[in-house]
Structure 1
Amino acid sequence: MDTGARMVLIAATASGQGKTTVTAALARKLRRMGQRVQVFKCGPDFIDPMILEHASRAKVHTLDLWMVGLEQSRQRLARAAREADVVLVEGVMGLYDGDPSAADLARTFDLPVLAVIDAAAMAQTAGAVVLGLRDYGPVRMAGVIANRVASEGHARMVAASLRDIPLLATLPKQSRQLPERHLGLVVPGEIDAIDDLLDTLADQLQLDEAAWNALAPRPLDAPLPEAPVPPLLAGKTVAIARDAAFCFLYPANVDTLEALGASVRWFSPLADEPVPPDANAVYLPGGYPELHGAALAQAMHWRDSIRAAHAAGVPILGECGGMMVLADTLADQDGREWPMAGLFPGRVQMQPRLAGLGPQAVETQAGQMRGHTFHYSRLETPLAPTAWTVKHPSGAQGEAVYRVGSLTASYFHAFFASNPAAAASLLRGDLA
């Protein structure tokens, strides 16, 4: 069956080569050419999808053979192939990094790979790198996008080195780049004139349209029917914190809550908005609370309302940054210590080194919930964990999970769509 969409996976040798910049530039350029563009992100990530959503003007979902699962990934790709002209999948880390890797995803769905090469400090060696990427797996290599190219002559040298692999596009060295901080790229709302930057990148991307048009639409095996989601949260209102401090939220998590029958209400702790009084559960996702310690410390309406919700037994789920603001204090990267909500005893301290990273799972009364962890802070608390996550694929002990009354808190980010019934149990406070 012809999907009607060109589908490619955009990968590189490692992180930091410009995958997100190139994917965003290509998405914006193709969209301006009148194409319907759907972008996905391979592997656990919150920030890159925000940039890519801004570039494509369409919701960006996650694809991952373990966290999302084979059939759900197939369903999302198949749906996108029916609705879009172009499907771009940004890889994670290097092409072969991780278990499962971006290469595993490409081979599973027969997605041709576009290799992003940082050509700033190489010329003919680009060919050796790309041929190695192609043959190591192997994967089907559709072409190359050379980033940080110095001149037309430099581009010709790169193109000549690729042998039978086309140079599909080049992007010159950028005077203005997507800014970064300790968890990755800066979120779009904090980037001045983000649309101007994305438009400039799209203008600078020199696309070989003939080579691009030579990429044929790929067929996909028909997915299995989607399993119905039981209405386990029917009639319930779930209040979700959403602002610059609480912005790490999978779109699939919101979709899952609504499929479970819940009504979603948004509120902003940074704006000192209280928990909605009709909330039957509160979900505090991760984000950057460490950048907003002063504002959160002064948000008395928010703090009083979350304390009142906890005292009333309203189920509360705090993930990573959402957990950090519920401890007694939060010390930021400059060592300034801010009072937080104090729902459990503990002190959170930012540190320069990564403290947790990778896919993990947690057991609930409804079975295993998959997700991941990624944080630069540590929690010091006298509380004993009530459970631990399990790292994938090693099976080693992962993040602590704490229970204090109706509160469930952990550095673990849950992917609700991996087990909707488990998501319902977490928001009912029914952790195993």
Structure 2
Amino acid sequence: MSTPTTAAHAACPALFIAAPSSGQGKTTVTAALARLLRKRGKVVRVFKTGPDYLDPQILAQASGQPVDQLDLWMAGEAYCRQRLFEAAQQADLILVEGAMGLFDGEPSSADLAALFDLPLVVVMDVKGMAQTAAALVAGLAGFRADIRIAGLIANACASARHRELIEGALPAEIPLLAAVARDPALALPERHLGLVQAAEIRDELEARFEAGAAALDAEGLAEALLSLPPVSFAAVPGTAVAIPAALQGQTIGVARDAAFSFIYQANLDLLAEMGATLRFFSPLSDTQLPCCDALWLPGGYPELHAAQLAANAPLRDDIQAFFASGKPILAECGGLLYCLETLTDGDERTYAMLGLLPGHGAMRGRRGCQGMQTAELPEGPVRAHAHHRSLATDTPAPIAHGRRQRHPAPGEAIYRQGGLTATYLHLFFPDNPAAVARLFAPAGTPCNATHTRSLEDTHG
């Protein structure tokens, strides 16, 4: 178990799972590690770097614990520090899965690992190479002086001889921690925006987690992980993370099902911390809204369920009446598509949607948009990201655009019709709790706009 040393510090073994690029098997290995330790009765807290929804669903099922994002740009240093500190107080091991390649992006996975002194394990698909894998790991280790690589996990290893060639070429200070055989039974299935949602294939995932855990257990990784020296995590001063109860007494209806599941746990936690009661409902199967003061329609895959959404006329009527009342609605990405007049799916079939916002949505194959942006809302700026392969046309003039992280061109459009705020951007609520409280506060309801969380200070 973790060993808190003072009220302001907690210590716990931790590893950062990185790779030279995307598609190397980071999520597969991280999930297998989490399941392996969970089977030993250990508490494993997993974090995911960057704005990702699907990987955390997978990792939460594997670990049996909630999975939060750690992103220095979107969330800030203080937020990340506090989350790690809280996890270290109750976990036997912390795993942080990186995004893309180790040094990709600004800030990168390496920046996050260096800031919190997290030892790195490199996961690499070694198909088609042997000694070159060792050269690549050595290059990663020597690229920056402020990171430390604790070892290599060779993924898709073809044979015992293949393993020997890689291990023999590695520098002495970088051990080969495991060689995972090339086995389709271990890989996680994918979809056009990433991994398939965990809820869709829960039983299949269980089999893959168990197979992955067994493969890593055979390499002796459980003992190696549990013997890691602890990493010390410092708490952020209590006054810096205080959140006003700005939504006390308010009830927010949250769409959550197979069509709408792109929901940060941190967003739910913040709404609850501000005093809101959350009531979940399914646009696919529920015929009426829960009693609520505001609605949140998050992103997801409405295009895969457009026929079922269109057929749910009772709920459509209920949401239209809610919209007519002028109460707040936040619709993000898939939620935006749901609010348009029609949605055309990938097979070019068109379905009627809610019609709260003029316009038409359509899928557009492999072409897409993604990137980090700040949503310039009238309530205040909120950091966010975009990732979609659809297009909204014939929409009204936006009230604002997202501000891109490093490019002067306008970002995603932000629309407002009555109480509806709709955009392709996925907001990270903890970046600006006061703005989020104003966004969800019903008209005429006083909202405590004091933003006491100092996380905004970390963004400059």
User: Does residue 57 in structure 1 map to residue 64 in structure 2?
Assistant: yes
Which blocks of at least 5 consecutive residues in structure 2 are unaligned?
A: 444-460
The residue identity in structure 1 corresponding to 2:219 is: L
Counterpart in 2 of 1:118? Answer: 125
Q: Shift in Å at residue 97 of structure 1? A: 0.8
Q: CA deviation at 1:66?
A: 1.2
Equivalent position to 1:359, from 347, 372, 378: 372
Question: Contact 1:4/1:85 (CA < 8 Å) preserved in 2?
Answer: no
Alpha-carbon separation, structure 2, partners of 1:372 and 1:290? 20
2:182 matched to 1:173?
yes
Partner of 1:208 in structure 2? 220
Q: Name the counterpart of 1:403.
A: 416
Secondary structure in 2 matching 1:45? coil
Contact 1:168-1:212 within 8 A present in 2 as well: no
- Residue 341 of structure 1 corresponds to 354
Report deviation, 1:195. 1.1
- Map residues 298-317 of structure 1 onto 2, 5 A cutoff: 298-317=311-330
| 1:255-404 aligned within 5 A | 255-276=269-290, 278-404=291-417
Task: Please give the alpha-carbon distance, in whole angstroms, between the structure 1 residues aligned to 2:305 and 2:196.
Answer: 14
Match of residue 165, structure 2, among 157, 170, 177: 157
The separation in 2 between residues aligned to 1:183 and 1:47, in whole angstroms, is 9
| Distance in 2 (alpha carbons) for counterparts of 1:396 and 1:141 | 38
Q: What is the Cα deviation at residue 382 of structure 1?
A: 3.7
Deviation at 1:267, TM superposition (A): 0.5
What is the aligned-residue identity percentage? 48
Q: CA deviation at 1:367?
A: 3.0
Kindly provide the amino acid, as one letter, of the partner of residue 215 in structure 2: Q
- Specify the code of the residue in structure 2 equivalent to 1:169: A
How far apart are residue 178 of structure 1 and its match? 1.1
Report the CA distance between 1:293 and its aligned residue: 0.9
Once residues 419 and 124 of structure 2 are traced to their aligned partners in structure 1, the CA distance between those partners, rounded to angstroms, is 49
- Cα distance in 2 for partners of 1:35, 1:302 equals 43
Q: Which amino acid aligns with 1:251?
A: Q
Give distance in 1, aligned partners of 2:367 and 2:354. 25
Give the aligned residue type for 1:182.
H
CA distance in 2: counterparts of 1:222 and 1:264, whole angstroms: 28
Q: Is 1:20 paired with 2:27? A: yes
CA drift of 1:213 comes to: 4.6
More deviation in 189-198 or 42-51?
A: 189-198
Give 1:227's aligned residue.
241
- Matches of 1:105 and 1:119, distance apart in 2: 25
In the TM superposition, residue 428 of structure 1 has moved relative to its aligned partner by 3.0
Tell me which residue corresponds to 2:208.
Answer: 197
For these two proteins, the number of residue pairs brought into alignment is: 429
Q: Which stretch has the larger CA shift, 361-370 or 287-296?
A: 361-370
Separation in structure 2 between the aligned mates of residue 232 and residue 3 of structure 1, nearest angstrom: 30
Gap change, CA 1:268 and 1:222, over 3 Å in 2 = closer
Contact 2:396 2:415 in 1 (8 A): yes
1:65/1:129 CA distance change after superposition, 3 Å = same
* Letter matched to residue 156 of structure 2: R
TM-score (norm 1): 0.96
CA distance in 2, matches of 1:135, 1:289: 45
Structural mapping, 1:121-136, within 5 Å: 121-136=128-143
Give the C-alpha shift of residue 211 in structure 1. 4.3
Q: Could you say what secondary structure the match of 1:193 adopts?
A: helix
Unmatched segments (≥5 aa) in structure 1: none
Q: Residue 71 of structure 1 contacts residue 224 of structure 1 at CA under 8 Å; is this kept in 2? A: no
Moved more, 313-322 or 170-179: 170-179
Contact kept? 1:364, 1:425, Cα under 8 Å: no
C-alpha distance after superposition, 1:53-79 (max 9, x if no partner):
000000000101111110010000111
Larger deviation, residues 265-274 vs 15-24: 265-274
Equivalent-residue separation in structure 2 for 1:416 and 1:114 (angstroms): 31
2: CA distance, partners of 1:305 / 1:162: 63
Q: Helix, strand or coil for the counterpart of 1:271?
A: coil
Tell me if structure 1 keeps the 8 A contact 2:261–2:298: yes
**Maintained 8 Å contact 1:99/1:393:** no
Amino acid of the structure 1 residue aligned with 2:347: D
Cα offset, 1:212, TM superposition: 3.5
Q: Give the deviation of 1:228 after TM superposition.
A: 1.5
Task: Answer yes or no: is 1:420 the counterpart of 2:433.
Answer: yes
Query: What is the CA–CA distance in structure 2 between the aligned matches of 1:211 and 1:163, rounded to whole Å?
Result: 19
**TM-superposition CA deviations, 1:22-55 (whole Å, max 9, x none):** 1001110111122210000001000000000000
Q: Contact conserved, 2:11 with 2:233, CA < 8 A, in 1?
A: no
Q: Is the 8 A contact 2:82 2:234 kept in 1?
A: no
Kindly provide the amino acid, as one letter, of the partner of residue 163 in structure 2: A
Find the aligned partners of 1:293 and 1:18 in 2 and give their Cα distance: 32
- Runs of 4+ aligned structure 1 residues displaced above 6 Å come to none
Q: 2:149 aligns with which of 101, 122, 141?
A: 141
SS at 1:207's partner residue? coil
Contact residue 360 and residue 372 of structure 1 kept, 8 A:
yes
Following superposition, the deviation at residue 186 of structure 1 comes to 0.3
Q: How big is the shift at 1:214?
A: 4.8
Structure 1 residue identity aligned to 2:272: E
Structure 1 354/86 Cα, relative in aligned 2: closer, same or farther at 3 Å?
farther
Secondary structure of the corresponding residue to residue 402 of structure 1: strand
Separation in 2 of the partners of 1:311 and 1:290? Answer: 25
Counterpart pick for 1:247 among 243, 248, 261: 261
1:358–1:178 CA distance, 2 compared to 1 (3 A): same
